[in-house]
Structure 1
Amino acid sequence: MTQMRCLVVIAGPTAVGKTRLSVDLASAFVGEIISADSMQIYRGMDIGTAKISREEMNGVPHWGIDIVDPQIPFSVVDYRELADKWLSDIWNRGHLPFLVGGTGLYIRALTESYNFTDFAGDPEFRNRLAELARIHGPQVLHDRLREVDPESASRLHPNDIRRIIRALEIYEYTGKPMSVQVEPSQRKTRFPVLKIGLTMSDRELLYQRINQRVDAMVEKGLVQEVQSLLDRGIHKELISMQAIGYKEIISYLEGQVTLEEAIETIKLGSRRYAKRQLSWFRQDPNFHWLEVDRMSWDDLYERCYRLVQEFQHRFANTVEIKEDGGTRA
């Protein structure tokens, strides 16, 4: 019997409510969840990334969390290779996969068939590199580029930060140096995908949720988590440690700012990140957008349940995966 080969995406900005909805839907549809969060991949970075707890998982299998240490380089190509295996295993078990998170490039990498030489880029990754150069000087980026792409490093001056960041970005999201990139293939959907986007009509309410989440992170021990990472030898110059919430606490621990100033900077950075997330996802016309502040939780769940149910019925036992990543009936 042909196995169903479909994927449900639940995406949206930070703090909008993706976790609870995805667990409830996965429980109802015998599903498993793949995380699409570029920071939750790191072990030991739990509080600052709002990582789901075992209790919150409610018995639903989760993949893509705690898979590498913070000092290990990890590209979107690495993610897609692992996620393809998780998808295949979930399908072979006869379960429905849910791809859940706010990292748009991870979602695009798994759902579309193309290479990344033509991608618009990841603003959050660029911002982390720019911040790294601002704090530690441009040489730290040039040294990193020399490690992964010596040819490009030899052509670029250490102060040419913009081009160095672009070269590092291409390597990060392709796993290959900029000098060996090939022509991009045409983007196409790899298999049937239902995309559900969560947002809020009241942007200030979303920002309020974000601020409350940051306060909760600090109360749970964010400062202690960052200190523990540093004590383990996780260097502050690592890209992983430039994530929102971590670099600000490092500045506090080094005495550069007060804790209150660090917290306010985290809140501001998180709000800006949410805005960028929404801008990214809004570019995709295939999302079914739901404003979570305009309906009760039960209504939101019922709307999503019907969307998934109709999607499942439409493609059940009709789609297989071809070796080239396309689909066939």
Structure 2
Amino acid sequence: MDSKQNLLVIIGPTAVGKTRLSIDLAKRYNGEIISGDSMQIYRGMDIGTAKITEDEMEGIPHHLINIKEPNENFSVAEFQLLVRAKIGEIAERGKLPIIVGGTGLYIQSVIYDYQFSDVPGDESLRLQLEERVKEIGNEELFKELMEVDPGSAAQIHPNNVRRVIRALEIFKLTGKTMQEFQSKQQPDLLYNTALVGLTMERENLYERINLRVDLMLKAGLLAEVKGLYDQGLRDCQSIQAIGYKEIYEYLDGKVTFEEAVANLKQNSRRYAKRQLTWFRNKMEVQWFDMTDVNHFSKKITKISHCVEGKLQVKSNT
């Protein structure tokens, strides 16, 4: 028997059905859920991040949701520290820790023995890059990263300025890309991990994403974003999230509301594509196609067999 702590991880693109599956598996295996989403940590950003509601939780404890104010920063290293501590706490209670989310780098940082402090920061260089963003804008700085480190650029959203700057900082300080450092580390899995990935035919997934955006708007997304906008929140990590940046452009008068909604849907679809690419290239995932949602119970049975085989656990249902 593996002496490592059991851990179930459920990953996949936005709108693929991770939440529904996670609740079912948490009930089956006496689990508690840790959010693996880099934006659901922010309070007051519920609709745009598709945050699980109290009713949807069905009594299952959830962790790392609503732990930061929207004006606060949050790093991969901090996420790594918090989640590893939570895994230990949940296991001590005799429960199965379940990480659920779509932020690939964050989840990867937890389950593999990655070190994020190999390259020290350079404050003066970072300040220069921050000033450069103000001069040329997010897109132009992102283009600079694409030229010197296309691998990292493929995994970073152009509006995630903090990570763009960090990748450029590493390259400018060392002449090596972020991936070159990671590849040398040859990380091991820290936990006895069942890594379940959900996928879906692209056309179906894109339809679900478009529908989700429509439902978010009906649920009050515009009012939620306007609340942050009226607080004067700008140039902070939280507002870079898809669903917030696009509405900000509308509130700034840069685009019409219809254009903002179209941009939001397009950016969400592109993000889903990037998520799938990341997971397929970076992790050893057992994939399950969720295209036919009418046969959800059959999918659950297959996934349960995978989990039980990997973790040597028994269903209590």
Q: Where on the TM-score scale, by shorter chain, does this alignment land: which range?
A: 0.7 to 0.9
User: Which of 143, 146, 149 is residue 123 of structure 2 equivalent to?
Assistant: 149
Instruction: Provide the rounded CA distance (Å) in 2 between the counterparts of 1:42 and 1:152.
Output: 25
User: Which of 129, 141, 144 is residue 161 of structure 1 equivalent to?
Assistant: 141
Instruction: Provide the rounded CA distance (Å) in 2 between the counterparts of 1:227 and 1:289.
Output: 38
Instruction: Provide the rounded CA distance (Å) in 1 between the counterparts of 2:118 and 2:275.
Output: 19
**2:192 counterpart of 1:198:** no
One-letter amino acid matched to 1:107:
I
Instruction: Provide the rounded CA distance (Å) in 2 between the counterparts of 1:227 and 1:62.
Output: 27
**2:109 counterpart of 1:109:** yes
**1:199–1:17 Cα change, 3 Å:** same
One-letter amino acid matched to 1:305:
S
**Shift in Å, 1:285:** 5.5
Which residue does 1:307 correspond to in 2? 306
Instruction: Provide the rounded CA distance (Å) in 1 between the counterparts of 2:58 and 2:35.
Output: 15
**Shift in Å, 1:251:** 1.5
**1:156·1:164 contact (CA, 8 Å) conserved in 2?**
no
Instruction: Provide the rounded CA distance (Å) in 2 between the counterparts of 1:95 and 1:270.
Output: 34
**1:20–1:161 Cα change, 3 Å:** same
SS of the residue aligned with 2:274? helix
**2:264 counterpart of 1:290:** no
**1:292–1:171 Cα change, 3 Å:** same
**1:76·1:172 contact (CA, 8 Å) conserved in 2?**
no
**1:247–1:104 Cα change, 3 Å:** same
Instruction: Provide the rounded CA distance (Å) in 2 between the counterparts of 1:229 and 1:34.
Output: 26
Q: Deviations over 1:153-177 (max 9, x none)?
A: 459983583568989428769xx99
Which residue does 1:220 correspond to in 2? 219
One-letter amino acid matched to 2:163:
E
Instruction: Provide the rounded CA distance (Å) in 2 between the counterparts of 1:98 and 1:46.
Output: 21
**Shift in Å, 1:106:** 1.0
Which residue does 1:234 correspond to in 2? 233
**2:145·2:164 contact (CA, 8 Å) conserved in 1?**
no
Give 5+ residue unaligned stretches, structure 2.
Answer: 150-160
**1:223–1:278 Cα change, 3 Å:** same
Instruction: Provide the rounded CA distance (Å) in 2 between the counterparts of 1:192 and 1:178.
Output: 37
Identity among equivalent pairs (%): 43
One-letter amino acid matched to 1:150:
S
Size of the aligned set, in residue pairs, is: 284
Which residue does 1:91 correspond to in 2? 91
The TM-score normalised by the length of structure 2 is 0.80
Give 5+ residue unaligned stretches, structure 1.
Answer: 120-145, 316-329
Instruction: Provide the rounded CA distance (Å) in 1 between the counterparts of 2:127 and 2:69.
Output: 26
**Shift in Å, 1:39:** 0.8
- Greater shift, 292-301 or 206-215, is seen at 292-301
SS of the residue aligned with 1:283? helix
Which residue does 2:53 correspond to in 1? 53
**1:172–1:78 Cα change, 3 Å:** farther
**Shift in Å, 1:62:** 0.5
Which residue does 1:141 correspond to in 2? none
**Shift in Å, 1:149:** 1.8
